[in-house]
Amino acid sequence: MTQSQRWRLRGRIILDDGSERPEAWVVGGKLSLTAVSGDVTTLDGVFLPGLVDMHCHIGLDAHGATTPEIAYQQAVVNRDSGVLLVRDAGSALDTSWLQSRTDVPHIIRCGQHIARPRRYLKDFASEIDQSDQLPAEMDRQARRGDGWVKIVADWIEREHGDLAPLWRPQDLAAGVARAHAAGARVTAHTFATESVGALLDAGIDCLEHGTGMSEEHMRRAAEAGIPVVPTLLQIERFDQIAAQGEHRFPDFALRMRRMHAQRREQVHALHALGVSLFVGTDAGGSIAHGRIADECAALVEAGIPSEQVTASASWQSRQYLGRPGMREGEVVQAVRYADDPHLDITALRSPTTIITHGVLQLV
Ligand SMILES: [Zn+2]
Protein backbone atom coordinates (compact mmCIF):
# COMPACT_ATOMS: atom_id res chain seq x y z
CA MET A 1 0.00 0.00 0.00
CA THR A 2 1.14 3.51 -0.62
CA GLN A 3 0.54 6.81 1.01
CA SER A 4 -1.85 7.91 -1.75
CA GLN A 5 -4.40 5.30 -0.71
CA ARG A 6 -7.21 6.04 1.70
CA TRP A 7 -8.05 3.80 4.60
CA ARG A 8 -10.95 3.64 6.95
CA LEU A 9 -10.02 2.43 10.43
CA ARG A 10 -12.91 0.73 12.18
CA GLY A 11 -13.29 -0.76 15.65
CA ARG A 12 -11.79 0.79 18.77
CA ILE A 13 -9.55 3.71 17.85
CA ILE A 14 -7.57 5.47 20.58
CA LEU A 15 -6.42 9.01 19.89
CA ASP A 16 -3.48 10.88 21.44
CA ASP A 17 -5.67 12.55 24.07
CA GLY A 18 -6.95 9.16 25.22
CA SER A 19 -10.40 9.64 23.67
CA GLU A 20 -11.93 6.91 21.50
CA ARG A 21 -13.67 6.73 18.13
CA PRO A 22 -15.38 3.88 16.33
CA GLU A 23 -14.06 5.13 12.96
CA ALA A 24 -11.27 7.30 11.57
CA TRP A 25 -9.67 7.78 8.16
CA VAL A 26 -6.13 8.02 6.88
CA VAL A 27 -5.72 10.23 3.84
CA GLY A 28 -2.32 11.06 2.40
CA GLY A 29 -0.81 9.48 5.51
CA LYS A 30 -2.67 11.89 7.85
CA LEU A 31 -5.49 11.26 10.28
CA SER A 32 -8.98 12.53 9.48
CA LEU A 33 -11.92 12.27 11.85
CA THR A 34 -14.46 13.15 9.17
CA ALA A 35 -15.54 10.59 6.60
CA VAL A 36 -13.83 10.78 3.23
CA SER A 37 -15.55 9.96 -0.04
CA GLY A 38 -14.26 7.73 -2.80
CA ASP A 39 -12.41 4.43 -2.60
CA VAL A 40 -11.32 3.42 0.85
CA THR A 41 -9.81 0.23 2.20
CA THR A 42 -11.27 -0.74 5.56
CA LEU A 43 -9.05 -2.04 8.35
CA ASP A 44 -10.83 -3.51 11.38
CA GLY A 45 -9.38 -3.88 14.87
CA VAL A 46 -8.08 -2.03 17.88
CA PHE A 47 -5.83 0.89 16.97
CA LEU A 48 -3.38 2.52 19.36
CA PRO A 49 -1.01 5.44 18.78
CA GLY A 50 2.32 3.71 18.01
CA LEU A 51 3.85 2.32 21.20
CA VAL A 52 6.65 4.14 22.99
CA ASP A 53 9.68 2.47 24.55
CA MET A 54 10.71 5.06 27.12
CA HIS A 55 13.99 3.35 27.97
CA CYS A 56 15.74 1.69 25.05
CA HIS A 57 19.32 1.74 23.76
CA ILE A 58 19.50 1.58 19.98
CA GLY A 59 23.11 1.35 18.85
CA LEU A 60 24.24 -0.46 22.00
CA ASP A 61 24.90 -4.11 22.79
CA ALA A 62 26.65 -5.91 25.65
CA HIS A 63 30.05 -4.64 24.45
CA GLY A 64 29.24 -0.97 23.84
CA ALA A 65 28.56 0.75 20.50
CA THR A 66 27.23 -1.45 17.68
CA THR A 67 27.85 -1.03 13.98
CA PRO A 68 25.33 1.19 12.15
CA GLU A 69 23.93 -1.96 10.43
CA ILE A 70 23.12 -3.56 13.78
CA ALA A 71 21.59 -0.32 15.09
CA TYR A 72 19.32 -0.30 12.02
CA GLN A 73 18.32 -3.94 12.62
CA GLN A 74 17.54 -3.13 16.27
CA ALA A 75 15.33 -0.26 15.12
CA VAL A 76 13.45 -2.57 12.71
CA VAL A 77 12.88 -5.14 15.48
CA ASN A 78 11.43 -2.38 17.65
CA ARG A 79 9.14 -1.24 14.83
CA ASP A 80 7.84 -4.75 14.21
CA SER A 81 6.98 -5.05 17.92
CA GLY A 82 4.71 -1.99 17.58
CA VAL A 83 7.20 0.51 19.04
CA LEU A 84 7.16 3.58 16.80
CA LEU A 85 8.79 6.03 19.17
CA VAL A 86 11.85 5.45 21.32
CA ARG A 87 13.34 7.60 24.00
CA ASP A 88 16.87 6.38 23.77
CA ALA A 89 18.27 6.25 27.30
CA GLY A 90 21.87 6.77 26.24
CA SER A 91 23.87 5.24 23.40
CA ALA A 92 27.57 5.02 22.64
CA LEU A 93 26.70 5.24 18.92
CA ASP A 94 25.41 8.46 17.38
CA THR A 95 22.13 7.27 15.84
CA SER A 96 20.95 10.65 14.53
CA TRP A 97 21.22 9.32 10.94
CA LEU A 98 18.34 6.93 11.71
CA GLN A 99 16.04 9.89 12.26
CA SER A 100 15.80 10.67 8.56
CA ARG A 101 14.49 7.17 7.76
CA THR A 102 10.73 6.65 7.54
CA ASP A 103 10.82 2.84 7.95
CA VAL A 104 11.98 2.81 11.58
CA PRO A 105 10.71 4.29 14.87
CA HIS A 106 11.40 7.90 15.61
CA ILE A 107 14.26 8.17 18.12
CA ILE A 108 14.53 10.89 20.75
CA ARG A 109 18.23 10.70 21.64
CA CYS A 110 19.74 11.33 25.07
CA GLY A 111 23.30 11.66 23.81
CA GLN A 112 25.61 9.41 25.82
CA HIS A 113 25.11 8.35 29.44
CA ILE A 114 27.29 10.26 31.90
CA ALA A 115 29.21 8.25 34.51
CA ARG A 116 32.62 8.05 36.20
CA PRO A 117 35.52 5.64 35.55
CA ARG A 118 34.79 2.13 36.96
CA ARG A 119 31.39 3.33 38.09
CA TYR A 120 29.26 1.98 35.24
CA LEU A 121 29.34 -0.62 32.48
CA LYS A 122 32.57 -0.47 30.50
CA ASP A 123 32.48 1.29 27.09
CA PHE A 124 28.93 2.63 27.49
CA ALA A 125 29.22 6.04 29.04
CA SER A 126 30.98 9.32 28.71
CA GLU A 127 33.18 8.98 31.81
CA ILE A 128 34.36 12.01 33.76
CA ASP A 129 36.90 11.86 36.60
CA GLN A 130 35.45 14.29 39.10
CA SER A 131 31.96 15.02 40.35
CA ASP A 132 32.44 18.77 39.81
CA GLN A 133 32.86 18.18 36.05
CA LEU A 134 29.25 17.00 35.86
CA PRO A 135 27.53 20.32 35.06
CA ALA A 136 29.80 21.01 32.05
CA GLU A 137 29.33 17.46 30.72
CA MET A 138 25.55 17.67 31.15
CA ASP A 139 25.59 20.90 29.18
CA ARG A 140 27.64 19.19 26.43
CA GLN A 141 25.34 16.15 26.25
CA ALA A 142 22.25 18.42 26.28
CA ARG A 143 23.56 19.96 23.07
CA ARG A 144 24.24 16.54 21.48
CA GLY A 145 20.85 14.97 22.24
CA ASP A 146 17.24 15.69 21.34
CA GLY A 147 16.08 17.33 24.53
CA TRP A 148 17.13 14.68 27.06
CA VAL A 149 20.24 14.00 29.14
CA LYS A 150 20.88 10.68 30.93
CA ILE A 151 23.06 10.41 34.00
CA VAL A 152 24.08 7.36 36.03
CA ALA A 153 23.25 8.37 39.60
CA ASP A 154 24.53 5.29 41.47
CA TRP A 155 26.52 2.12 40.82
CA ILE A 156 28.63 -0.28 42.81
CA GLU A 157 31.65 1.33 44.49
CA ARG A 158 34.06 -1.59 44.67
CA GLU A 159 36.16 -0.23 47.57
CA HIS A 160 33.01 0.05 49.62
CA GLY A 161 31.37 -3.14 48.28
CA ASP A 162 27.91 -1.71 47.71
CA LEU A 163 25.88 0.69 45.61
CA ALA A 164 26.73 4.35 46.21
CA PRO A 165 25.96 7.71 44.56
CA LEU A 166 28.37 8.92 41.84
CA TRP A 167 27.83 12.65 42.33
CA ARG A 168 27.81 15.25 45.10
CA PRO A 169 24.36 16.79 45.58
CA GLN A 170 25.56 20.31 44.69
CA ASP A 171 26.99 19.06 41.37
CA LEU A 172 23.73 17.30 40.54
CA ALA A 173 21.77 20.48 41.24
CA ALA A 174 24.14 22.59 39.11
CA GLY A 175 24.10 19.96 36.34
CA VAL A 176 20.32 19.73 36.13
CA ALA A 177 20.16 23.54 36.03
CA ARG A 178 22.69 23.60 33.15
CA ALA A 179 20.74 20.97 31.18
CA HIS A 180 17.48 22.83 31.75
CA ALA A 181 19.09 26.09 30.61
CA ALA A 182 20.16 24.28 27.41
CA GLY A 183 16.53 23.20 26.86
CA ALA A 184 16.90 19.54 27.91
CA ARG A 185 15.13 17.38 30.47
CA VAL A 186 17.18 15.02 32.62
CA THR A 187 16.65 11.41 33.57
CA ALA A 188 18.76 9.26 35.87
CA HIS A 189 19.64 5.63 36.29
CA THR A 190 19.00 4.86 39.97
CA PHE A 191 18.99 1.51 41.77
CA ALA A 192 20.00 2.76 45.26
CA THR A 193 17.93 4.50 47.92
CA GLU A 194 20.85 6.83 48.75
CA SER A 195 20.86 8.65 45.40
CA VAL A 196 17.16 9.49 45.08
CA GLY A 197 16.79 12.37 47.56
CA ALA A 198 19.54 14.42 45.90
CA LEU A 199 18.03 13.76 42.44
CA LEU A 200 14.62 15.01 43.61
CA ASP A 201 16.25 18.02 45.30
CA ALA A 202 18.14 18.77 42.09
CA GLY A 203 14.90 18.98 40.05
CA ILE A 204 15.29 15.75 38.05
CA ASP A 205 12.58 15.23 35.39
CA CYS A 206 12.30 11.43 35.28
CA LEU A 207 13.74 8.39 37.10
CA GLU A 208 14.85 5.06 35.60
CA HIS A 209 14.47 1.77 37.54
CA GLY A 210 13.70 3.41 40.92
CA THR A 211 14.20 0.15 42.82
CA GLY A 212 15.51 1.95 45.91
CA MET A 213 12.80 4.61 46.19
CA SER A 214 11.33 4.88 49.66
CA GLU A 215 7.71 5.72 50.32
CA GLU A 216 8.74 9.32 50.99
CA HIS A 217 10.59 9.45 47.63
CA MET A 218 7.48 8.09 45.91
CA ARG A 219 5.27 10.75 47.51
CA ARG A 220 7.67 13.48 46.46
CA ALA A 221 7.84 12.15 42.87
CA ALA A 222 4.05 11.93 42.68
CA GLU A 223 3.64 15.48 43.96
CA ALA A 224 6.24 16.90 41.56
CA GLY A 225 4.86 14.93 38.57
CA ILE A 226 8.11 13.02 38.07
CA PRO A 227 7.48 9.70 36.29
CA VAL A 228 9.36 6.46 36.89
CA VAL A 229 10.29 3.91 34.22
CA PRO A 230 10.45 0.64 36.22
CA THR A 231 12.21 -1.55 33.55
CA LEU A 232 11.02 -4.81 35.13
CA LEU A 233 12.81 -6.95 32.52
CA GLN A 234 16.06 -5.47 33.83
CA ILE A 235 15.08 -5.88 37.50
CA GLU A 236 14.29 -9.56 36.76
CA ARG A 237 18.06 -9.94 36.25
CA PHE A 238 19.03 -8.58 39.69
CA ASP A 239 19.47 -12.01 41.24
CA GLN A 240 21.83 -13.01 38.39
CA ILE A 241 23.78 -9.78 38.97
CA ALA A 242 23.84 -10.58 42.70
CA ALA A 243 25.20 -14.08 42.01
CA GLN A 244 28.08 -12.63 39.97
CA GLY A 245 29.12 -10.36 42.86
CA GLU A 246 28.34 -12.75 45.72
CA HIS A 247 31.92 -13.51 46.88
CA ARG A 248 33.56 -10.13 46.55
CA PHE A 249 30.59 -7.94 47.36
CA PRO A 250 28.22 -9.69 49.78
CA ASP A 251 26.46 -6.47 50.88
CA PHE A 252 25.80 -5.53 47.27
CA ALA A 253 24.54 -9.04 46.48
CA LEU A 254 22.20 -8.99 49.47
CA ARG A 255 20.75 -5.64 48.46
CA MET A 256 20.25 -6.69 44.82
CA ARG A 257 18.49 -9.87 45.92
CA ARG A 258 16.23 -7.94 48.26
CA MET A 259 15.26 -5.46 45.51
CA HIS A 260 14.68 -8.38 43.14
CA ALA A 261 12.35 -10.09 45.62
CA GLN A 262 10.41 -6.85 46.17
CA ARG A 263 10.23 -5.68 42.57
CA ARG A 264 6.51 -6.16 42.09
CA GLU A 265 5.57 -4.62 45.45
CA GLN A 266 7.81 -1.65 44.60
CA VAL A 267 6.07 -1.02 41.27
CA HIS A 268 2.68 -1.50 42.83
CA ALA A 269 3.51 1.00 45.61
CA LEU A 270 4.64 3.59 43.02
CA HIS A 271 1.33 3.21 41.20
CA ALA A 272 -0.74 3.26 44.40
CA LEU A 273 0.94 6.50 45.54
CA GLY A 274 0.15 8.21 42.24
CA VAL A 275 3.52 8.13 40.45
CA SER A 276 3.17 7.99 36.64
CA LEU A 277 4.79 4.84 35.29
CA PHE A 278 6.11 4.57 31.75
CA VAL A 279 7.11 1.47 29.85
CA GLY A 280 10.79 0.87 29.14
CA THR A 281 12.42 -2.40 28.12
CA ASP A 282 16.04 -1.30 28.73
CA ALA A 283 16.88 -3.21 25.54
CA GLY A 284 20.35 -2.85 24.11
CA GLY A 285 22.81 -3.83 26.85
CA SER A 286 21.84 -7.30 28.01
CA ILE A 287 18.16 -7.35 26.99
CA ALA A 288 17.01 -8.08 23.44
CA HIS A 289 15.11 -5.45 21.46
CA GLY A 290 11.43 -5.89 20.63
CA ARG A 291 10.20 -6.94 24.09
CA ILE A 292 7.73 -4.17 24.91
CA ALA A 293 4.87 -6.70 25.18
CA ASP A 294 6.88 -8.62 27.81
CA GLU A 295 7.58 -5.46 29.82
CA CYS A 296 3.87 -4.54 29.68
CA ALA A 297 2.92 -8.06 30.84
CA ALA A 298 5.41 -7.76 33.73
CA LEU A 299 3.76 -4.49 34.82
CA VAL A 300 0.36 -6.19 34.78
CA GLU A 301 1.80 -9.04 36.87
CA ALA A 302 2.93 -6.38 39.36
CA GLY A 303 -0.71 -5.34 39.75
CA ILE A 304 -1.05 -2.42 37.31
CA PRO A 305 -4.32 -2.79 35.36
CA SER A 306 -4.01 -3.69 31.63
CA GLU A 307 -6.02 -0.62 30.73
CA GLN A 308 -3.47 1.62 32.50
CA VAL A 309 -0.42 -0.16 31.07
CA THR A 310 -1.85 0.12 27.54
CA ALA A 311 -2.42 3.85 28.02
CA SER A 312 1.08 4.35 29.47
CA ALA A 313 2.73 2.50 26.60
CA SER A 314 0.89 4.47 23.94
CA TRP A 315 -0.89 7.83 24.17
CA GLN A 316 0.27 8.90 27.64
CA SER A 317 3.94 8.52 26.69
CA ARG A 318 3.35 10.38 23.46
CA GLN A 319 1.70 13.22 25.35
CA TYR A 320 4.62 13.34 27.76
CA LEU A 321 7.17 13.44 24.93
CA GLY A 322 5.07 15.73 22.74
CA ARG A 323 5.11 13.47 19.66
CA PRO A 324 1.80 12.84 17.84
CA GLY A 325 0.67 9.37 16.81
CA MET A 326 -3.09 9.64 16.31
CA ARG A 327 -4.06 13.28 16.15
CA GLU A 328 -6.32 14.85 13.54
CA GLY A 329 -4.35 16.38 10.68
CA GLU A 330 -1.05 14.79 11.76
CA VAL A 331 0.91 12.00 10.08
CA VAL A 332 -0.28 8.67 11.52
CA GLN A 333 1.93 6.48 13.71
CA ALA A 334 -0.32 3.64 14.81
CA VAL A 335 -0.51 -0.05 15.57
CA ARG A 336 -3.44 -2.37 14.96
CA TYR A 337 -4.33 -5.43 17.05
CA ALA A 338 -6.92 -8.12 16.49
CA ASP A 339 -7.59 -8.42 20.24
CA ASP A 340 -7.87 -5.63 22.76
CA PRO A 341 -4.80 -5.08 24.99
CA HIS A 342 -6.92 -2.98 27.37
CA LEU A 343 -8.67 -6.24 28.29
CA ASP A 344 -5.79 -8.68 27.94
CA ILE A 345 -2.27 -7.28 27.80
CA THR A 346 -0.96 -10.31 25.89
CA ALA A 347 -2.73 -8.93 22.80
CA LEU A 348 0.31 -6.60 22.48
CA ARG A 349 2.38 -9.64 21.42
CA SER A 350 0.64 -9.75 18.03
CA PRO A 351 0.35 -6.45 16.17
CA THR A 352 -1.35 -7.09 12.82
CA THR A 353 -0.53 -3.81 11.11
CA ILE A 354 1.99 -1.03 11.65
CA ILE A 355 1.40 2.42 10.22
CA THR A 356 4.58 4.42 10.53
CA HIS A 357 5.05 7.88 9.05
CA GLY A 358 1.60 7.43 7.49
CA VAL A 359 2.69 4.33 5.55
CA LEU A 360 1.58 0.74 6.08
CA GLN A 361 4.71 -1.26 6.92
CA LEU A 362 3.50 -4.71 7.77
CA VAL A 363 0.26 -6.64 7.57
ZN1 LIG B 1 19.33 1.42 30.32
Which tens digit of pLDDT belongs to each residue from 195-221? 999 999 999 999 999 999 999 999 999
Residue 66: pLDDT band with limits 50, 70, 90: very high
Q: What separation in Å is there between the alpha carbon of 233 and the centre of ligand 1?
A: 11
SS3 of 36-52: CCCCCEEEEEEEEECEE
Q: What is the pLDDT of residue 121?
A: 85
Name the β-bridge partners of 36. Answer: none
Please determine, for residue 122, whether its predicted confidence score (pLDDT) is greater than 90: no
What is the distance, to the nearest Å, from the Cα of residue 323 to the centroid of all Cα atoms in its chain?
A: 14
At 94 the three-state DSSP class reads coil
Residue list, CB under 5 A from ion ligand 1: 89, 282
- Contact by Cβ (8 Å): 222, 228: no
Q: What separation in Å is there between the alpha carbon of 39 and the centre of ligand 1?
A: 46
Q: What separation in Å is there between the alpha carbon of 56 and the centre of ligand 1?
A: 6
Higher pLDDT pick, 123 / 156: 156
pLDDT (mean) for 114-130: 90
**CA-to-CA separations, 307 to 88, 161, 315, 342, 347, in angstroms, rounded:** 25, 41, 12, 4, 12
Q: What separation in Å is there between the alpha carbon of 54 and the centre of ligand 1?
A: 10
pLDDT (mean) for 140-149: 95
Residue 91: pLDDT band with limits 50, 70, 90: confident
Residues making up the chain, counted from first to last: 363
Give the tens place of pLDDT for each residue, 230-255: 999 999 999 999 999 899 999 999 99
Number of helices and strands in the chain (H, E): 12, 20
Please determine, for residue 2, whether its predicted confidence score (pLDDT) is greater than 60: no
CA pair distance 176, 219, nearest whole angstrom: 21
In terms of CATH architecture, what is 51-290? Alpha-Beta Barrel (3.20)
Residue 363: pLDDT band with limits 50, 70, 90: low
Q: What is the pLDDT of residue 1?
A: 47
CATH topology of domain 7-48+323-362: Urease, subunit C; domain 1 (2.30.40)
Same CATH fold assignment for domains 7-48+323-362 and 51-290: no
Domain boundaries, the chain: 7-48+323-362, 51-290
Give the tens place of pLDDT for each residue, 295-342: 999 999 999 999 999 999 999 999 999 999 999 999 999 999 999 999
Q: What separation in Å is there between the alpha carbon of 236 and the centre of ligand 1?
A: 14
Q: What is the pLDDT of residue 285?
A: 85
Q: What separation in Å is there between the alpha carbon of 153 and the centre of ligand 1?
A: 12
